């Protein structure tokens, strides 16, 4: 069976420009709108959006490889490294610190050249013990053995892909890295799609190729936006469409170099990621607009905390007892806080009957 890398000059990928350019233009327009909208917010809201999306990005990227990360640990590590003030920080394992370090290097330093040493550094922090599960692997260097992508039970494995032999890796990776760093006359989002496919097709490491490919994708998308702040998660969409992700990769890696279907799928995935972000970040945007409208109104610390929690959906019906418990104050103090906000038009009594009066946030007082 021949794979894409078995053809001469296999890296000179072909694609149908007519099919791709319409989709590329549409996705690029949506990308510009999302980034523009987020950058128009205050720094605190931008930080909150970045923290939320980078946390999701890393958790979902690892889930594609069958690994579950603790979201709160990931969030805490990112917040500390970016200097973002947020509540509920927790201790973080060395492993998660390493994954976060790789992702932040890829996105915060998106304009720095890629090198084999930089990739080896990312690989090192992914596998700080030199183990992948129960097995020792080669860390911080290209693999020295053969590499197959397989599925199925032992003895009934199905080979989906055979990567290039180890002796080809130095030359293959040198060519790939040079292309990444070159100022190619190619759209930067299109270059991100090609970079992802090219890297996973080389499959240069014993393990971690998928996670590094997705970090590279984020780096290239950051270059396309000339912005280190990540407001959407393409890995989250790849996780949702994991079956299709593997199917289109396998289809393309069995082709003779025509990567049209892969690029169309990548653009579709990016389109969905941008659309999901608009929904997921609606609370951030609404919250920012609320505080901007009410910047001249006086709120105490308890009121600010509980209003923010309402936007974040941390609890359901807001009652005096729930306010007192969350704000760690007396019921009388909670009632005074609530009455003050009702008087300012920020809260109103719910029309629902029942044993306990509850209140609704008025976003446009």
pLDDT number for residue 89: 76
Per-residue HEC secondary structure of 159-185 comes to EEEECCCHHHHHHHHHHHHHHHHCCCC
Of the candidates 281, 201, 272, which has an alpha carbon nearest to the alpha carbon of residue 10?
Answer: 201
Confidence check: pLDDT of 316 > 70: no
289 token code pair: 């607009």
First to last CA, the chain: 67
What's the confidence (pLDDT) of residue 281? 66
Asked if 155 and 140 touch (Cβ cutoff 8 Å), the reply is no
Q: Is the pLDDT of residue 116 over 70?
A: yes
Q: In what helix (H) or strand (E) does residue 149 lie, and over which residues does it extend?
A: strand 148-151
300-361 has the same fold as 4-283: no
CB 235 within 8 A of CB 207: no
Place of tokens 């009594």: 349
300-361: in CATH 3.40.50.300: no
Q: How is domain 4-283 classified at the CATH fold level? A: Fic-like fold (1.10.3290)
> What pLDDT digit, counting tens, does each position of 59-110 carry?
888 888 888 888 889 989 999 999 987 766 788 988 899 999 999 999 999 9
What are the pLDDT digits (tens) for 342-359? 999 999 988 776 667 888
Q: What is the pLDDT of residue 312?
A: 62
Token digits of residue 30: 């949506």
Which has the closest alpha carbon to 54: 31, 88, 77, 34?
Answer: 77
108 burial (CB, 10 Å; 0-12 / 13-18 / 19+) is middle
HSE (side-chain half, CA atoms, 13 Å) at 286: 17
DSSP letter at 258 equals: B
Residue 7 has pLDDT above 70, yes or no: yes
pLDDT tops 90 at residue 338: yes
- Domains of the chain, by residue range, sit at 4-283, 300-361
């Amino acid at each position: 069976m021949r794979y894409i890398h078995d053809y001469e000059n296999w890296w000179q990928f072909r694609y149908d420009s007519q099919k791709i350019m319409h989709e590329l233009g549409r996705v690029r327009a949506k990308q510009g709108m999302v980034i523009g909208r987020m950058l128009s917010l205050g720094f605190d809201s931008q930080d909150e959006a970045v923290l939320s999306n980078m946390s999701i990005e890393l958790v979902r990227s690892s889930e594609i490889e069958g690994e579950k990360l603790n979201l709160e640990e990931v969030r805490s590590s990112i917040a500390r490294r970016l200097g973002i003030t947020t509540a509920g920080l927790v201790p973080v394992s060395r492993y998660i610190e390493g994954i976060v370090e790789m992702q932040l290097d890829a996105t915060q330093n998106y304009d720095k050249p890629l090198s084999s040493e930089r990739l080896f550094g990312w690989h090192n922090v992914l596998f700080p013990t030199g183990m992948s599960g129960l097995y020792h692997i080669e860390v911080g260097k290209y693999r020295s053995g053969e590499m197959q992508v397989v599925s199925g039970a032992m003895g009934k494995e199905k080979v989906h892909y055979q990567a290039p032999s180890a002796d080809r890796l130095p030359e293959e990776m040198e060519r790939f890295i040079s292309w990444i760093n070159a100022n190619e006359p190619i759209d930067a989002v299109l270059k991100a799609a090609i970079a992802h496919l090219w890297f996973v097709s080389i499959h240069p490491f014993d393990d971690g190729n998928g996670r590094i490919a997705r970090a590279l994708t984020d780096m290239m998308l950051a270059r396309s936006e000339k912005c280190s702040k990540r407001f959407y998660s393409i890995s989250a969409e790849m996780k949702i469409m994991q079956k299709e992700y593997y199917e289109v990769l396998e289809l393309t890696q069995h082709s003779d170099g025509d990567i049209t279907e892969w690029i169309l799928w990548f653009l579709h995935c990016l389109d969905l990621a941008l659309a999901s972000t608009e929904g997921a970040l609606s609370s951030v945007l609404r919250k920012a607009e609320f505080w901007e409208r009410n910047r001249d109104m006086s709120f105490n610390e308890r009121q600010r905390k509980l209003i923010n929690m309402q936007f974040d959906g941390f609890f359901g019906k807001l009652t005096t007892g729930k306010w007192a418990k969350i704000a760690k104050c007396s019921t009388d103090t909670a009632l005074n806080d609530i009455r003050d906000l009702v008087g300012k038009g920020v809260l109103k009594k719910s029309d629902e009957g029942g044993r306990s009066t509850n209140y609704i946030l008025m976003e446009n007082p």
